[in-house]
Amino acid sequence: MARTKRFDEEEMLHNAMLLFWHKGYNGTSPQEILDELKLSRSSLYDTYGDKRSLFISALKRYRNTVTAEIIAFLASSENIPEALKTLFQRTKAQCFVGEDKRGCFMVNSKVELAPHDEEVATIVKENREALENAFTAAIKRGQEMGQISKDNPPRSLARFIMNNLWGLTVHSKSGADKKVFDDIIRITLSVIK
């Protein structure tokens, strides 16, 4: 007879995502997973199989929640320069919450695992492409409405914006201060005027 699960899988996966986001894949031990998620070994392994499978599920959850939220925000924005500024300000705020310098889960995974893990590399690539397409569409709309300079093609600007946005998350992990962020944000946003 199969056992009844005594935990909310969505909540557990969300908490696993936060744990991996903060500590990385290699920095998170199987015992920390059990302790932080308050699960028995059998519950975890019956549901996900192993640490790597849980990590992949957490990374996909990030894509389906955090990335999806950014894409929806860009798609619904009418003032594109203001939307871009908001995304940069949100990123800055998230990077300076307490002592937790977690950066971006997707970027962290790209650096830590993508060079030698094809499945992670594929998820990161798909995530980047989806974001790039959303930024490109938003910038194109902004150009058509006269909000953004047409000096550069929308896709080129999207790549530039994303590179700087992701770069901020890397800076946060290395201890950059708010002045560094302010300089990067100010110069980045000046390019689209």
Question: Which CATH entry fits the domain spanning 9-191: 1.10.150.120, 4.10.1240.10, 1.10.357.10, 3.30.70.920?
Answer: 1.10.357.10
Contacts 24+ apart (CB under 8 A), 77-81: 77/138, 79/147, 80/138, 80/139, 80/141, 80/142, 80/145, 80/147, 80/148, 81/142, 81/147, 81/148, 81/189, 81/192, 81/193
CA dist 106 and 61 (Å) reads 11
Q: Kindly report whether the global pTM for this prediction surpasses the value 0.85.
A: yes
pLDDT score recorded for residue 134? 98
pLDDT score recorded for residue 44? 80
pLDDT score recorded for residue 7? 63
CA dist 67 and 166 (Å) reads 13
Quick one: tokens of 101?
């310098």
Digit-by-digit pLDDT tens for the chain (193 residues) are 445 455 688 898 999 999 999 899 999 999 999 999 888 888 887 888 889 999 999 999 999 999 999 999 999 999 999 999 999 999 988 877 666 677 889 999 999 999 999 999 999 999 999 999 999 999 999 999 999 999 999 999 999 999 999 999 888 877 778 888 899 999 999 998 8
Domain boundaries, the chain: 9-191
